[in-house]
Structure formats: structure tokens, C-alpha cells
Amino acid sequence: MAEPAVPVVDIAAFLADPSSDAAASVAAAWDAAFREYGIVYLTGHGVPDAATSELASSATTFFSQSEEAKMALCLHQGYGKGGFVPVGVEAVARSRPEGAGSAPDAVENIVFSHAGDPALESVMPSEPPTLQPSVAAYWAAMRALLGQLMQLSAKALGLPGAYFDAAFERPKCNLRLAHYPPMPADADARAPGVLRYGAHTDYTGFTILRPDPEIIGLEAQAADGVWISVPPRPGALIVNAGDLLQVWTNDRWRSAPHRVVNPPPGSAPRPRLSLVFFTGPADDTVVEPLPNCHGPEVPKKYEPVSAREHLLRKLGRSNTDVLKDLKLK
């Protein structure tokens, strides 16, 4: 039996005219994809190729620096707080009860939380000098796309187009540049139990991913529990729904578990780079099932929760005890 394929949703018709019949078809495809898979390939998004290629190039240069240079940008606060996060701090699988005790992930990150307003950004490396403008340009493109995706989502859920505007007027966003160092070709030389990124669900709203265009590894878990490969697709971004979208839709949409698996033994040791834009509503947004996602035959499955409370709880589980040691140095 052929492995199920993650659906492709082309949103160009929606962006051209959200009120058109073609846009309604896009919204229906968006709804169907998140009901069944919780993850889609996004095409027709209008994000300039230059924005992604320039940021990827700058990020590659940044991660090629010495560990000492990168650690100078470590705020010792753990992933989600901005700055450089070395290998061994994050164990994202621990954010789920079934992942308690999982090994730390084989990834290093630099995280930006306020790239749209450099005066608020906690860390902005001076090297390479191309990083700051490329981060700013990519952030602007992602913020514009987020607004369009929330309008599309409102239409897909049968809501007014501006339904999510208030919650996303000041969204909680992070841009994470994720670098997975090369792994030894010999499986026996690899740390036991370590994945590049453990199985988890994302915490809040949509995650917009530009995967490494050459190195596979991303997998998503289908509703039947089967893990399916999500290889890079030319010109496509990958979008998955986070936990708060599942709460908002009362399980109509899936927050799909996903992971980054290790390269097969014998593979040439190569690094992997992803550009990950996490999105969510403003911290003070109270999220509960939407009125049209519950009723007499479909009861509410979730209690109201603030976006901030939910995010802090998940982040607290995924930062390892290594963080405590870092804070002492």
C-alpha cells in the first residue's frame, strides 16, 4: 500500500479574491487538509524566493562560527526566550506526557522573538552582517502570510473573515533558525536514543516551515498512528496546526505530531537547516472551542485557557536540566 501523501493547498486564488468561488474551493481544501492531516504543503503563497534563500545563506554562515562565538549569544533562558540555544538544551518530546524522559534533541537554534521591532529583540548577532536584514525581511513576509492564513482559516471554518483579527493584532511569534549538525555515518557512533528532533505537537497556532531543500527527515503522524514522510517540495512551504488551533476547533482540526528523524546509517554526514516561524495569538487571548465547533451533538472538549499559560506550560516541559547548568556558567 502506498504511503499517504500530505495534501498540497494552492492559496493563490484566495489571495487574489477571497470572495470568489475559487477562494471558497481553497477554503474547503484547507479545512479538509487540517481535519485529516493537520499539515499541508502550501503553494501560491507569494513569499519571495529571495527572502528564504538570503536568510538560509546567512543562517548557514552564523552556525559555521565557533561554539564560543555562538555561546556569547546564549541568554541561558532556554528555547522560546530568544538568543542562541545549544545542542542538548531542548528535548521537545518531553512536552508530551508519553515523551517524559526522552533524550535531548540533536539541534541547535537561534531564536528571534521581536524581529519586527529590532529595538525589542533580545539578541541580534553582528556576524554575519547580512543576518539582521535577512531576518527582518523574512519576518515581514511571514507576518503578512500569517494574516492571510488566519483569514483563510476563518472562511474555512464558516466564520467572518476578520474573526481572528483581534487575537492576532499582536501575535506571539518566534522565528527559529534550526541547525542540525552532521551525524556520524556509523550508527554505533551516534548517541543512543537521540533524534534530530523528537516527536511532539506544536504549541499554539500555525507553524510555517521552510524545510531544508535537500535533506529529508521530517515526518508527521497520521490519524491512524502511521508516520509518513514529509519531504521538501520545490517552492512549497509546510504549514501545520498547533495545539491551540485544535482547542479552538474542538478537535475538528488536528495538531499533528511530527518529528525529524536521523539520516539512515551509512549516509554521508551532512547538516540540515530549517527556517521555522511559530505563530500564535496574543498572550492574553483566552482560547476555547469556537461556537460553531460544538453543540448538543458535539460537546465542548476543552476548558478555556490563556495562550500565555498554555505556552509556558509546554515550554517548561521541553527545556532540559542542561539549562540549569548553563545558568550557572
Rg of the chain over Cα atoms, rounded to whole angstroms, equals 19
Residue 303, CA distances (Å) to 97, 223, 250, 283 in order: 19, 23, 10, 17
The catalytic residue among 259, 272, 308, 313 is 272
- Report the alpha-carbon distance of residue 328 to residue 252 in Å, rounded: 45
- Catalytic site residue 35? no
Residue closest to 107 by CA, chosen among 227, 38, 200, 37? 200
Yes or no: say if 235 and 43 are a contact pair by the CB < 8 Å rule.
Answer: yes
Residues marked active site are found at: 272
